Amino acid sequence: MTIRAFIAVDVSISDTFFEFQKALKDTGARLKMTNQNSLHLTLKFLGDIAEEKVYEVEKAMVRSVDGMQPITGCLRGTGVFPSEEKIRVIWVGLDGAESILDIAESLEEELERYGFDPEERTFIPHLTAARTKFDRRGGPDPNISKILPVVQDFSSKEFGELRIDRLKLMKSELTPQGPIYSVVKEVAFF
């Protein structure tokens, strides 16, 4: 049996995050907002993995945070992926927690030992605020151009403090109402 899995850390957000989402929604663009109950910072998406691989993933998580102290930072700034011309994801950034980059790099190396493919894209720590929806008829969204001014308006805002002291291996069950997340394993920093 397989599970759809990823490694993440918890985040705490301020009301500014919801103000950002509301401003995005008010543009009229076709967007899917991230549910506040499923907010997290993903360090590594694993995809579908065999349940037998959970032990190996847990060992990689333990090794990647060995000797780490808790990390503090701030959710600050906004942007879009992959580009301003082709917006797919609207995000909030992470500021002042450079150690999270070291953990992500270590996770990549440790997981590769167990046969997981390394990520081809550069890791950019972020919290997804919304995703653009595709029109089934293929037509352009006339309101998509209204997103960038909102992103720019919030680009210097603070969205919450961050204290990272554990990694979580999460299971994602896809449903018509959106994904349901549950914790499979948790590794605290030592």
For residue 172, the one-letter residue type is S
Dump pLDDT digits (tens) for 62-78: 999 998 899 988 999 99
Of residues 31, 32, 4, 45, the one with CA closest to residue 174: 4
Dump pLDDT digits (tens) for 171-182: 999 888 778 889
For the chain, the domain total comes to: 1
Interval 7-21 mean pLDDT:
93
Work out the pLDDT band at 116, boundaries 50, 70, 90: very high
pLDDT at 136 over 80: no
Provide DSSP, 4-49.
EEEEEE-----HHHHHHHHHHHTTT--EEEPPGGG--EEEEEEEEE
Q: H-helix or E-strand containing 109?
A: helix 99-113
Q: Following CA atoms 46, 43, 181, 49 in sequence, which dihedral angle do they give, to the nearest 10 degrees?
A: 10
Catalytic residues: 40, 126
Q: What is the pLDDT of residue 92?
A: 96
Interval 80-88 mean pLDDT:
92
Q: How far apart are CA 84 and CA 22, in angstroms?
A: 20
Q: Which residue range(s) make up the domain with 172?
A: 2-188
Interval 73-101 mean pLDDT:
91
Q: What is the pLDDT of residue 138?
A: 62
Q: How far apart are CA 46 and CA 111, in angstroms?
A: 9
Q: How far apart are CA 186 and CA 170, in angstroms?
A: 9
Q: What is the pLDDT of residue 139?
A: 66
Q: How far apart are CA 152 and CA 29, in angstroms?
A: 16
Say if residues 11 and 162 touch (Cβ distance below 8 Å).
Answer: yes
Q: How far apart are CA 117 and CA 114, in angstroms?
A: 9
Interval 72-95 mean pLDDT:
93
Interval 130-148 mean pLDDT:
81
Helical axes 54-64 vs 99-113, angle rounded to 10°: 140
Q: What CATH number does residue 167 fall under?
A: 3.90.1140.10
Spatial neighbors of 74 by CB under 8 A, at least 6 apart, are 94, 95, 96, 97, 158, 159, 160, 161, 162
Structure-token pair, residue 155: 């680009």
**Taking the model in full, what pTM does it have?**
0.88
pLDDT at 159 over 90: yes
